[in-house]
């Protein structure tokens, strides 16, 4: 899964595969959007008003409290799955990035930049 921006969280499906839940905070509308993804396809989304998220937080706190009280071991996460078909297809079709080269010697007289020399003189 990709790195999430600060207003987004990705949660892997415990059943594995390419399925996950994405929660995104939208400050302009004061909503949290919970969306269900299968690979790169959004299967469903539910916008929830921030004021209604308190019930969800309460449920999570109660659940964590019960687990802590029972002293249960955390569930094992499944081993990482192979990349999905869309990921492999995108990797094949993605344009290749050109190699970065030092063109100083090719395009500048004497192969040196005046800026480099000025920096050295400081």
The pLDDT, as a whole number, for residue 68 is 78
Contact between residue 61 and residue 49 where contact means Cβ atoms under 8 Å apart: no
Express each pLDDT in 43-94 by its tens digit: 999 999 988 888 888 998 998 888 877 765 566 666 666 677 777 777 777 7
Are the C-beta atoms of residues 43 and 37 closer than 8 Å to each other? Answer: yes
- % the chain with pLDDT above 70: 65
Q: Tell me the β-bridge partners of 32.
A: 25, 48
Candidates 83, 82, 100, 93; CA nearest to 40 is 83
Q: What percent of the chain has pLDDT over 90?
A: 30
Q: Where are the domains of the chain?
A: 8-74
Average pLDDT (93-115) is 61
What's residue 84's pLDDT?
Answer: 76
């Amino acid at each position: 899964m990709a790195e999430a921006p600060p207003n987004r969280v990705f949660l892997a499906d415990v059943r594995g595969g390419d399925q996950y839940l994405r929660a995104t905070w939208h400050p302009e509308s004061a909503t949290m959007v919970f969306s269900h993804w299968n690979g790169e396809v959004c299967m469903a989304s539910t916008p929830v008003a921030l004021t209604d998220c308190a019930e969800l937080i309460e449920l999570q706190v109660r659940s964590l409290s019960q687990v802590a009280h029972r002293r249960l071991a955390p569930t094992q996460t499944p081993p990482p799955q192979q990349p999905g078909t869309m990921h492999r297809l995108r990797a094949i079709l993605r344009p290749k990035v050109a190699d970065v080269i030092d063109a100083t010697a090719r395009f500048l007289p004497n192969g040196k930049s005046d800026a480099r020399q000025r920096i050295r003189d400081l």
